Structure 1
Amino acid sequence: MSTDNKNLWTIVAGHEMSVKLHDKSFIISTVLMLAIIVAGLGFYAWSASRQQTCTIVASDSPSAQVAQAVEPVARADGARMEIDVVRVDDEAAARARLADDDDAAWLHATATGWVLTFGGSSDDQLLSYTSTAVSQTVLAQVAAQAGMSDEQLAAAVSVTDEELDPDSGFNLRNYFVGIVFALLFMVSSMMFGMQIAQSVTTEKQSRVIEILAAAVPAHQLLLGKIVGSTLMALLQMLLYAVIGLIGLSQTDLGIILPGLSGSIVWFLAFFLVGFGALACLWAAAGALAGSQEDLQHTAQPLTWLLMIVYVTGFAVHGTVQTVLSFVPIMSSVLMPVRIAAGTASWWQVLVALTITLAFTPLAIWIGSRIYNRSLLQTHGRVSLRQALGRQPAQPAGRARR
């Protein structure tokens, strides 16, 4: 075989990439996903930048002092809230102000404690910040009477946290990181994998594969489809990552980027290896099918596998997450999540990637065996027993020359 014939897979890969770039459904789905990412980040930035103005009515000096402390409490919590403190002479004036402004609230002390009376519906956030301001103000007054300094008071009421087992338990940030990684892996693997399978089935159903197989060896056809589709999937994932990172950097969530950038790079590496292994199995699913209707059955195991990986990506934690992060395919999601959470050592990352790399040849061998033995069987759906049997299945319906 000449050198040119050995590189026929590159032509197939280039053709697969060209088809994707000219496929309207692929372009529309990519643009739609980018629009969703940009819209989500834009909405968050808009919500975070909104300045909320609240009016607190105070009818005496103690109430005014507490009301003045509400805004610093809100700012410390990250809320963009401005408190407009309005002094009135008495209760009647305060109630009159509430009658004119439904968004205002009257802060006053009673025999049973402090009360925040709203002109309209209650604002739970304002109530929470006001409660904190009352506690801080009263504590400061008690501390001053007891001769305590501000530092002593802060030490007396501060609460810090420590973790005896950081790998166990639930973490909201890690939960959302897991959802994002799992969703991206599932959607991209499902979309590109199904396109590989549909392409193989279409060529087989239309019997174009008989012409292609006469010109290009089956293993090179398979390699070209895998390489072309994997590269397009990786480029699409890179595009999503770049747009997402740029968008995050323009919001106050940009402070988490240093902790996420490393996990995103590793996610792309694990995605490349994991999808490379799955791509061959998707091609095998397409070769087993005799029609697009059959493909729904032959591709079902891969669909269920991706659904399991998706749910596992954010539903498990602790020891279970650690163990599953070394399992091929699942490691493509779980190990990057552990990297983002800071619970994965460098050697664990390398071990998980090595295991997935070792699994890839096995997946390729199984997928290529099924693909080669089923590709020219155009009489209907081919069973796994036929495809994996000792003897190659005999071609049916192949054109004689």
Structure 2
Amino acid sequence: MIKQLNIVIKDTLRANFKSRGYWILVLSPLIFVAVIGGVAFGVTQLQGNTTPTVAIIGQASERVPFVQSAKNLDMKISKITNEKQADKALKSEKLGGVLTLKSDSATLTTQPKSDQVPKDDIATILNQLSQAKKATQYGLTAAQTADFMKPVNFKTVVQQANQSESGDNTEGANYAIAVAIGVITMIVVMWYTSMIANAIANEKSSRIMEILLAATSARIQYFGKLIGVFLLALTHMLIYLIAGFATVIFLKDNVFVKMITSNLSGVTTGFMLYALAFILIAVALYLVLTAMVASLINDNAQVQQAIQPISFLAMIGYMFSYFMTFMPNNIAIRALSYVPFVSQSMMPVRLVTHVEGWPTALASLGISFVALILLAWFGQGIYAKNVLSYSDEPIMKQITGRFFRK
């Protein structure tokens, strides 16, 4: 039995790995992203150096903080210290801005074609200089001045069930992953439900299914196809994961890559494992459901009839996840967070927004896993019963007539 199962799995993998359609499915999004990235990089290069050059007009001691912070401010400090020379250079577009410092005020002058000058960062330094001057006027010591200018250590903390969880970047990063679970599941389901439905339709329409079932049981064909297509989906996701890591490594200095890695740097290991488990279980659930429904298909013309309701089901949880922000305690939303097929889009979001805790989140994951085992076991009987039957009735009519017939 195990040997026959391995043969069906390998045959499913081999048939799709050799097909042009599978690699178009895998590579087309990567090529699209690469083209968009290449165009964006080319436009950036054509624009040249966009780092603005600013002249600081004021006392030498006031210029020092700007010179020291120039790299962090993403701007260059001009050597021009004369106001007339600075105005002339600004008019000729050799400068991006002129910062004029006076005893109690400061003025930043730019021209229409100036590159973006970091005004907020400049204002921060000016406030620090002003505080230092006032501290000196009030006779504070250097230590007192440093303590006076020390920024407040501010962070957000969510108190929940005898434990505290730090907010900061972790909360935002985990929320992004939580939303991505629903998106990834929906996309993968739409891709691979069609694949398994077409495989069954091809075998039934060409009457190959009778030959296959003469050599192996329907149970072997059922589980072999499911495992084979699931491994294809897993390989697909691994390819994207490797491509993502390679992009981060080789383009680590890219502004866009830096922004993404910075936003995702706070993702916790526990939540990442939880998200991965939910994605895999949800994808497996949809593949099992597709195999059951696809067993009713006569030919390729009925494939869309079979996968449309499944694709719609995958979208339900994704759509409901947007309503949770506005009504997280709605009884329908709370109930759906435990329902397999939609819980993967809802419970992770409820977890990271602290509406639910880890015990309920793990309970939802456990329910989906148990549902997967039961549905897979129940599905083999449905598959064996219908895979050799042929009917001209619409798929939905067959479902209501066969699955719910007393």
Which bin holds the TM-score, normalised by the shorter protein? 0.7 to 0.9
C-alpha distance 74-104 of structure 1, shift in aligned 2 (>3 A): same
Deviation at residue 198 of structure 1 after TM alignment: 1.2
Amino acid at match of 1:72: S
Pick aligned residue for 1:280 from 280, 288, 291: 288
Corresponding residue for residue 363 of structure 1: 375
Corresponding residue for residue 120 of structure 1: 112
Amino acid at match of 1:134: L
Deviation at residue 239 of structure 1 after TM alignment: 3.1
C-alpha distance 322-150 of structure 1, shift in aligned 2 (>3 A): farther
C-alpha distance 365-390 of structure 1, shift in aligned 2 (>3 A): farther
More moved, 362-371 vs 351-360: 362-371
Asked if 1:16 is matched to 2:12, the reply is yes
Residues 294-321 of structure 1, C-alpha deviation per residue, up to 9 Å, x if partnerless? 2222212210122233445677459569
Pick aligned residue for 2:128 from 102, 117, 136: 136
C-alpha distance 169-159 of structure 1, shift in aligned 2 (>3 A): closer
C-alpha distance 323-204 of structure 1, shift in aligned 2 (>3 A): same
In the alignment, is the contact (CA less than 8 A) between 1:38 and 1:244 conserved in 2?
Answer: no
Give the whole-Å Cα distance in 2 for the aligned partners of 1:39 and 1:347.
44
Residues 83-106 of structure 1, C-alpha deviation per residue, up to 9 Å, x if partnerless? 22333333x322211122255201
Corresponding residue for residue 145 of structure 2: 150
Percent identical pairs in the alignment equals 22
Pick aligned residue for 2:386 from 349, 353, 374: 374
Give the whole-Å Cα distance in 1 for the aligned partners of 2:219 and 2:233.
21
Amino acid at match of 1:117: T
Asked if 1:271 is matched to 2:271, the reply is no
More moved, 98-107 vs 348-357: 348-357
Corresponding residue for residue 310 of structure 2: 302
Corresponding residue for residue 86 of structure 1: 79
Give the whole-Å Cα distance in 1 for the aligned partners of 2:56 and 2:389.
85
Give the whole-Å Cα distance in 2 for the aligned partners of 1:196 and 1:314.
30
Corresponding residue for residue 69 of structure 1: 66
Residues 115-170 of structure 1, C-alpha deviation per residue, up to 9 Å, x if partnerless? 21113335555222222222222122122222342333234x53623334589999
Amino acid at match of 2:12: E
State the superposition RMSD in angstroms: 4.1
In the alignment, is the contact (CA less than 8 A) between 1:103 and 1:120 conserved in 2?
Answer: no
Corresponding residue for residue 255 of structure 2: none
Residues 341-362 of structure 1, C-alpha deviation per residue, up to 9 Å, x if partnerless? 8998664554333211211134
Give the whole-Å Cα distance in 2 for the aligned partners of 1:289 and 1:386.
14
Give the whole-Å Cα distance in 1 for the aligned partners of 2:123 and 2:349.
37
Give the whole-Å Cα distance in 1 for the aligned partners of 2:348 and 2:129.
45
Give the whole-Å Cα distance in 1 for the aligned partners of 2:246 and 2:351.
21
Paired residues for 1:291-370 under 5 Å = 291-312=299-320, 316=324, 319=328, 326-332=338-344, 347-348=359-360, 350-365=362-377, 367-370=379-382
SS in 2 for 1:188: helix
SS in 1 for 2:77: strand
C-alpha distance 261-43 of structure 1, shift in aligned 2 (>3 A): farther
Amino acid at match of 2:139: G
In the alignment, is the contact (CA less than 8 A) between 1:201 and 1:286 conserved in 2?
Answer: yes
Corresponding residue for residue 397 of structure 1: none
In the alignment, is the contact (CA less than 8 A) between 1:178 and 1:313 conserved in 2?
Answer: no
SS in 1 for 2:364: helix
C-alpha distance 271-303 of structure 1, shift in aligned 2 (>3 A): same
C-alpha distance 385-231 of structure 1, shift in aligned 2 (>3 A): same
In the alignment, is the contact (CA less than 8 A) between 1:186 and 1:306 conserved in 2?
Answer: yes
Amino acid at match of 2:188: S
In the alignment, is the contact (CA less than 8 A) between 2:50 and 2:115 conserved in 1?
Answer: no
SS in 2 for 1:108: strand
In the alignment, is the contact (CA less than 8 A) between 1:370 and 1:387 conserved in 2?
Answer: no
Corresponding residue for residue 28 of structure 1: 24
More moved, 268-277 vs 66-75: 66-75
C-alpha distance 309-98 of structure 1, shift in aligned 2 (>3 A): same
Deviation at residue 179 of structure 1 after TM alignment: 4.3
Give the whole-Å Cα distance in 2 for the aligned partners of 1:140 and 1:111.
13
Residues 244-284 of structure 1, C-alpha deviation per residue, up to 9 Å, x if partnerless? 24544563527955735544443333333222222111112
Corresponding residue for residue 163 of structure 1: 157
Amino acid at match of 2:302: D
Give the whole-Å Cα distance in 2 for the aligned partners of 1:322 and 1:257.
30
C-alpha distance 277-348 of structure 1, shift in aligned 2 (>3 A): same
In the alignment, is the contact (CA less than 8 A) between 2:289 and 2:379 conserved in 1?
Answer: yes
Give the whole-Å Cα distance in 1 for the aligned partners of 2:168 and 2:81.
50
- Ranges in structure 2 where 5+ consecutive residues have no aligned partner: 253-257
More moved, 217-226 vs 159-168: 159-168
Deviation at residue 195 of structure 1 after TM alignment: 0.3
Asked if 1:230 is matched to 2:222, the reply is no
More moved, 375-384 vs 33-42: 33-42
In the alignment, is the contact (CA less than 8 A) between 1:202 and 1:292 conserved in 2?
Answer: yes
Residues 55-77 of structure 1, C-alpha deviation per residue, up to 9 Å, x if partnerless? 11233327x825843762872xx
Q: Give TM-score, length-normalised by structure 1.
A: 0.76
Corresponding residue for residue 182 of structure 1: 182
- Ranges in structure 1 where 5+ consecutive residues have no aligned partner: 392-401
C-alpha distance 176-282 of structure 1, shift in aligned 2 (>3 A): same
C-alpha distance 176-306 of structure 1, shift in aligned 2 (>3 A): same
Give the whole-Å Cα distance in 1 for the aligned partners of 2:348 and 2:177.
9
Count of residues in correspondence between the two structures = 378
Give the whole-Å Cα distance in 2 for the aligned partners of 1:319 and 1:169.
22
C-alpha distance 128-256 of structure 1, shift in aligned 2 (>3 A): same
Give the whole-Å Cα distance in 2 for the aligned partners of 1:322 and 1:123.
50
